[in-house]
Structure 1
Amino acid sequence: MDKDSRTVAELLNRALVESGLSQVAFATALGTSASRFSTYRSGRTKPTAQFFLRAGRIARALQAAREYRIMTALDTATAIREATDEDWAWRMLLQGRDHLRLLLARHDGSEAAWEAAPSTTGQANFDTLLAVLTAHEFAAAGEDPPQWTNVEALPDPWVPTHPFLEHNEIIEQTPDYLAQANVFIPARDLVTA
């Protein structure tokens, strides 16, 4: 292996450690397979410069998020998946979204932690909602949304039951960016203290 290839492999190995994730989880977060990432780490295959730079940036941001004790998309998806009831899943979703806002406000690159693609929440509705909320927050901050947030609208409308609003009121009070994804949640239910 030539010197440059060895350096790339070493830096990818460092990025993996810095990310705090397993090889499988980090590869998934980067949008590749664990076997492909393994070939990059061993130097058998050369990654693109874009992939290499992205791996380092995301690894540093994941480490920063851990140090700040801030949830990432990965943490948020896991918390939703492990929630014992839907109310707790909503709380975790909104807490994760609020943590994303904090990272975006820092302007120090730590928001790249949210570029790491999460695994599924276990529910297509929540997967779509997490992606759409994330894309919305990035766009609102003037940043390009992560690639994993490019999702199709749900095939059927998702209108969660509401304790105070009727079905048509929920639909009327849903922000356009959610309605376009076939997700119907009143704007007021997205506000946190």
Structure 2
Amino acid sequence: MDRDTQTVSEQLTRAVAESGLSQAAFAIALGTSPSRFSTYRSGKTKPTAQFFLRAGRIARALRAARERRIMTAPATATAVREAGDEDWAWRMLLQGRDHLRLLLQRHDGSEAAWEAAPGTTGHAGFDVLLAVLTAREFETAGEAPPEWTNVDPLPTPWLPEHPFLEPDEIIEQTPGYVAKANIFVPARDL
């Protein structure tokens, strides 16, 4: 292995450690497969310069978010997946969204932690809603949303139960950017 390939391999190994994620989770966060990432680390395949720089930037941002106890997209997806009930899952989703909002207000690059693609929440509706809410926050801040937020609408409508609104009221009160994803939640609950 030549010197440059060795350096790339070592720095990707450091990026995995710095991210706090497993190698497989870090690969997914970067938008590649664990097997492809393994070939980058072994030097069998050379990543693009863009991928290499992105891996370092995202790893640093994930470490900084972890140290500050700020949720990231992967952490939010995990919290939703591990929630004991749907109410707690909603709280975790919205807390993650609020943390993203704070990072975007800082304008210091820490929002790169949200470029990391999350794993699944275990629920297709929450997966798509996490992507939709993340894209909305980036757009509202005047930033380009992460690639992973480009998701297809749910194939069938998701209309979570509401304690006092009827389905037609929920649909009427759902913001358009959420309804486009075939998800129906009143604006005041977002």
1:162 match: 162
Verify: 1:100 aligned to 2:100, yes or no: yes
Return 5+ residue gaps in structure 2 as ranges.
none
Return 5+ residue gaps in structure 1 as ranges.
none
- Structure 1 segment 22-101 matched on structure 2, within 5 A: 22-101=22-101
Q: State the alpha-carbon separation in 1 of the partners of residues 12 and 116 from structure 2.
A: 15
Q: Which amino acid aligns with 1:159?
A: L
| 1:49-100 superposed Cα distances (whole Å, 9 cap, x missing partner) | 1110110110010011011110111111111111111100000000010011
Q: State the alpha-carbon separation in 1 of the partners of residues 44 and 152 from structure 2.
A: 35
Give 1:106 deviation, angstroms: 1.1
Give 1:35 deviation, angstroms: 1.8
1:111 match: 111
State the SS of the aligned residue for 1:16. helix
Number of residue equivalences:
190
- Please tell me the root mean square deviation across aligned C-alpha atoms, in Å: 0.9
State the SS of the aligned residue for 2:108. coil
| 1:5-39 superposed Cα distances (whole Å, 9 cap, x missing partner) | 12211211111111111111111111112221111
Q: Which amino acid aligns with 2:61?
A: A
Q: State the alpha-carbon separation in 2 of the partners of residues 33 and 167 from structure 1.
A: 40
Q: State the alpha-carbon separation in 1 of the partners of residues 34 and 152 from structure 2.
A: 25
2:184 match: 184
Q: State the alpha-carbon separation in 1 of the partners of residues 82 and 74 from structure 2.
A: 12
State the SS of the aligned residue for 1:80. helix
Give 1:40 deviation, angstroms: 0.9
Q: State the alpha-carbon separation in 2 of the partners of residues 179 and 58 from structure 1.
A: 30
Q: Which amino acid aligns with 2:164?
A: F
Q: State the alpha-carbon separation in 2 of the partners of residues 45 and 162 from structure 1.
A: 50
2:5 match: 5
Q: Percent identity?
A: 79
| 1:139-193 superposed Cα distances (whole Å, 9 cap, x missing partner) | 1111111111111011111111211211111111111100110111111011xxx
State the SS of the aligned residue for 1:98. helix
Verify: 1:132 aligned to 2:132, yes or no: yes
TM-score, normalised by the number of residues in structure 2: 0.97
Q: Which amino acid aligns with 1:101?
A: R
Q: Which amino acid aligns with 1:53?
A: L
